[in-house]
């Protein structure tokens, strides 16, 4: 880790984590507690981030100095392709409300979370930051991608016109504690943890996976993402968004085998090729953040062992969310 003096130390600052109940937001809260910040949160029951006036009023009253914008409507390939209006509207409006209010309230630093799906479906791999807007998007998640591209552009526009120190980070596929384990709505990592655990518990010999198992993905442990975001908040200020990944890719089949091993289940996988594969490959070029001095500390096996343990420990007694009986 770099020993350069920090550009923007977080210690002692009033920091709002928008989306603190989600997987990424809760990891950021955990990470910030170690940083000695005054962490602010507000629940969905108290404030709807899609209402501009409410967001402005809350921010004017609480006066955060820093914002981590982790609030979003998120989900896996099925959720993305079947709820396009929610993925586009919710994410656009949450970002515009928070970014604009942050400008109006004089927020000193804002870190917006995007996604690796902002890059073209057939982008050259690994995907560097400058491949943004160079080709057509992956159709299964283009609504979410368009909203996240708008988020990057919002940060750039408010920096150019008003001099706001707003930055954007693009995490690759995430997994870890606090994930959404719903089999229809969740991402592949959480769905496979839930399915494989269910098979182990019931003695089933087969688990069904969507698609062909061939697509390649890069998985980042969510606490590593939180660490990278704190790193960027304190050390980076610039218009360009920054990729956050591991540089290591695995096939969906390989992921399933890894989770089976971690869970101690030794059955077989069946592939339902009527379900979509989505992007064939999504590996990010992480050299920009690496050059600043950050690389992901958790290896895939340790990360999935922690994620699986968390799932087992936090499973509501006798139930498996999203699994039909």
Q: How many residues bind ligand GFB (CB under 6 A)?
A: 24
| Closer residue to ligand GFB in complex, CB, 23/59 | 23
Q: Could you say which DSSP state residue 19 is in? A: T
Q: Which residue from 22, 176, 215, 245 is in contact with ligand GFB, where contact means CB under 6 A?
A: 215
**Per-residue x/- mask for ligand GFB, residues 134 to 163, rule CB under 6 A?**
-------x--x-------------------
Q: Which residue from 173, 243, 286, 306 is in contact with ligand GFB, where contact means CB under 6 A?
A: 173
Q: Which of 119, 144, 158, 308 is catalytic?
A: 144
Q: Cα dihedral sign for 64, 67, 72, 74?
A: negative
Binding of residue 252 to ligand GFB (CB under 6 A): yes
| Closer residue to ligand GFB in complex, CB, 58/181 | 181
- Which residue, 217, 226, 221, is CA-closest to 298? 221
**Per-residue x/- mask for ligand GFB, residues 284 to 323, rule CB under 6 A?**
----------------------------------------
Residue 210, SS3?
Answer: strand
Q: Which residue from 151, 211, 245, 303 is in contact with ligand GFB, where contact means CB under 6 A?
A: 211
Binding of residue 14 to ligand GFB (CB under 6 A): no
| Closer residue to ligand GFB in complex, CB, 101/141 | 141
Q: Which residue from 73, 180, 279, 298 is in contact with ligand GFB, where contact means CB under 6 A?
A: 279
Binding of residue 277 to ligand GFB (CB under 6 A): yes
Q: Which residue from 200, 275, 281, 305 is in contact with ligand GFB, where contact means CB under 6 A?
A: 275
Q: What are phi and psi of 190, to 5 degrees?
A: -70, -40
How many CB atoms sit inside 10 A of residue 43's CB?
8
| Closer residue to ligand GFB in complex, CB, 141/246 | 141
| Closer residue to ligand GFB in complex, CB, 121/288 | 121
Owner of token pair 């992007």:
279
Burial class (CB in 10 A: 0-12, 13-18, 19+), 205: exposed
Contact range with ligand GFB by CB under 6 A, out of 11-19, 96-104, 187-195, 301-309 = 187-195
**Is position 175 annotated as part of the catalytic site?**
no
Determine which helix (DSSP H) or strand (DSSP E) holds 204, and give its type and residue range.
none
State the minimum distance, in angstroms, from the CB of residue 30 to ligand GFB: 21
Q: Rounded distance, CA 249 to CA 186, Å? A: 20
State the minimum distance, in angstroms, from the CB of residue 287 to ligand GFB: 19
Are the C-beta atoms of residues 152 and 112 closer than 8 Å to each other?
Answer: yes
Give 212-255 as a DSSP string: -S--EE-EEEHHHHHHHHHHHHHH---SS-EEE--S--EEHHHH
Burial class (CB in 10 A: 0-12, 13-18, 19+), 313: exposed
Q: Rounded distance, CA 147 to CA 128, Å? A: 19
Q: Rounded distance, CA 266 to CA 39, Å? A: 43
Residues marked active site are found at 144
Q: Which residues sit at the interface with ligand GFB, rule CB under 6 A?
A: 76-78, 80, 115-117, 141, 144, 173, 187-188, 191, 209-211, 215, 217, 252, 275-279
């Amino acid at each position: 880790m770099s020993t350069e003096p920090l550009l923007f130390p977080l210690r002692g600052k009033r920091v709002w984590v928008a989306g603190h109940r989600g997987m990424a937001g809760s990891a950021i809260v955990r990470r910030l507690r170690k940083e000695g910040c005054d962490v602010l949160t507000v629940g969905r029951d108290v404030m709807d981030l899609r209402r501009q006036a409410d967001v402005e009023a809350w921010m004017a009253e609480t006066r955060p100095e820093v914002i981590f914008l982790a609030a979003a409507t998120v989900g896996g390939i099925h959720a993305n392709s079947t709820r396009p209006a929610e993925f586009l509207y919710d994410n656009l409006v949450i970002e515009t409300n928070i970014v604009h209010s942050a400008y109006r309230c004089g927020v000193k630093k804002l870190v917006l979370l995007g996604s690796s799906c902002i890059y073209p479906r057939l982008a050259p791999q690994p995907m560097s930051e400058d491949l943004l807007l160079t080709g057509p998007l992956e159709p299964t998640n283009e609504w979410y991608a368009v909203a996240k591209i708008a988020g990057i552009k919002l940060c750039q526009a408010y920096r150019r016109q008003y001099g706001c120190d707003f930055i954007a980070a693009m995490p690759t596929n995430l997994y870890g504690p606090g994930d959404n384990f719903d089999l229809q709505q969740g991402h592949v990592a959480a769905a496979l943890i839930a399915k494989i655990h269910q098979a182990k518990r019931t003695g089933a010999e087969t688990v069904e996976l969507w698609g062909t198992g061939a697509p390649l993905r890069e998985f980042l442990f969510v606490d590593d993402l939180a660490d990278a975001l704190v790193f960027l908040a304190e050390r980076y200020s610039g218009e360009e968004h920054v990729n956050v990944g591991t540089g290591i890719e695995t096939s969906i089949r390989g992921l399933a085998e890894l989770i089976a091993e971690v869970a101690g289940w030794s059955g077989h996988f069946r592939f339902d090729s009527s379900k979509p594969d989505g992007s064939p490959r999504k590996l990010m070029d992480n050299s920009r953040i690496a050059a600043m001095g950050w690389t992901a500390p958790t290896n895939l096996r340790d990360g999935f062992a922690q994620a699986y343990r968390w799932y087992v420990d936090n499973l509501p007694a006798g139930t498996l969310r999203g699994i039909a009986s």
